[in-house]
A = this chain, B = another copy of it.
């Protein structure tokens, strides 16, 4: 039998989420996010973020959330600064460009963008006398955890926020896996810190216990105008919006979101400890639920019929890095089996 560690969206939803959908199924509610469940979820999220006046919108998936919010935040002549490794730059099929905007890709270290690089880029840009022939940096995109499973420290996030505010460009945080960041060991970045340092961010549901759904939080509206029209225009408004409200309402009741995230971290910890003991190397230091393990190709071939993982990149002629992902749903017996195999 095959073990599956390809991603954190292999299963459906956390049972409590599903139970809630079942229990409310035949209720009649108004559509498009105007129902009581959405309102309740919004209130809980505002509270968790410590921003009572925040605007909260629910969308179905990550790519559409990124593309919609980037369109909403940029003027036609502006682009978005992102790490070269950013999800929007690599794995969204050109969605940002299809919306008319260039991604201004900067180098990354383990998936992270540095405040210094952003500062230099923007300063150099405006120092160029012919900048009006170039794409204006109009916002900054980061992901937390990053695509390499790494985390910004609070001070790194503060510096990025400072640079953005000094240059008057908004900071957007893609939190598709935010739950796993919030409960990681040794992180000092809280949801409240994110809400105070970012201009827009989202709390991922698809990969953290929901069937689907991302909750966009806008602490202060800033230059975003008429978002409901943009959401409708991009076709990302769910008719039965309550499905999103119900899921997030459940995830933000009694700390469920963080509670279930901890399982992913505990399972990753167990794998990391075992692999380190056996002398395995990691492409980047493990911090959350995505583990990038370097395998020699012989072992890779042997394991690939037994363990579902993602081939990440070739390291050299004889080694390859693979990605293994745990989640809220990962069972310990599968992890034990995995460790036995590795």
Q: Which residues of B contact A206 (CB under 8 A)?
A: 239-240
A305 interface residue (CB < 8 Å to B): no
Q: Which of A39-47, A98-106, A193-201, A283-291 contacts B (4 or more CB under 8 A)?
A: A98-106
From the candidates B30, B132, B226, name the one contacting A232 in the complex (CB within 8 A).
B132
Could you say how many copies of this chain the assembly holds?
4
Q: Which residues of B contact A65 (CB under 8 A)?
A: 235
From the candidates B7, B21, B60, B77, name the one contacting A31 in the complex (CB within 8 A).
B7
Q: Which of A8-16, A108-116, A154-162, A262-270 contacts B (4 or more CB under 8 A)?
A: A8-16
Q: Which residues of B contact A232 (CB under 8 A)?
A: 63, 92-93, 95, 132-133
By the criterion of a CB under 8 Å from any partner CB, how many residues of chain A are at the interface? 76
Complex interface residues of chain A between 80 and 101 (CB less than 8 A to chain B): 90-95, 97-101
Contact B97 A64, beta carbon cutoff 8 Å: no
A190 interface residue (CB < 8 Å to B): no
A48 interface residue (CB < 8 Å to B): no
A236 interface residue (CB < 8 Å to B): yes
From the candidates B22, B25, B93, B130, name the one contacting A135 in the complex (CB within 8 A).
B93
From the candidates B13, B99, B129, B240, name the one contacting A12 in the complex (CB within 8 A).
B240
Q: Which residues of B contact A18 (CB under 8 A)?
A: 21-22, 25
Give the distance to chain B from A22, nearest Cβ to Cβ, in Å.
6
Q: Which residues of B contact A219 (CB under 8 A)?
A: none
Contact A77 B132, beta carbon cutoff 8 Å: no
Bound state CA distance, A235 and B99, in angstroms? Answer: 11
Q: Which residues of B contact A101 (CB under 8 A)?
A: 94, 97-98
Contact B235 A92, beta carbon cutoff 8 Å: yes
Bound state CA distance, A28 and B327, in angstroms? Answer: 12
Contact B235 A95, beta carbon cutoff 8 Å: yes
A212 interface residue (CB < 8 Å to B): yes
A61 interface residue (CB < 8 Å to B): yes
Contact A93 B134, beta carbon cutoff 8 Å: yes
Bound state CA distance, A305 and B69, in angstroms? Answer: 37
Known: A12-B25, A18-B21, A94-B101. 12 other contacts (CB 8 A): A11-B27, A11-B28, A12-B27, A12-B240, A21-B211, A91-B130, A92-B232, A93-B233, A94-B102, A133-B232, A211-B243, A234-B235
Nearest 9 interchain pairs by C-beta = A64-B235, A77-B229, A63-B235, A12-B25, A93-B233, A93-B232, A10-B28, A94-B135, A97-B102
Q: What are 14 A-B contacts defined by CB distance under 8 Å?
A: A4-B28, A18-B25, A61-B235, A64-B234, A65-B235, A77-B93, A91-B133, A93-B133, A93-B135, A95-B232, A136-B226, A211-B243, A212-B238, A212-B240
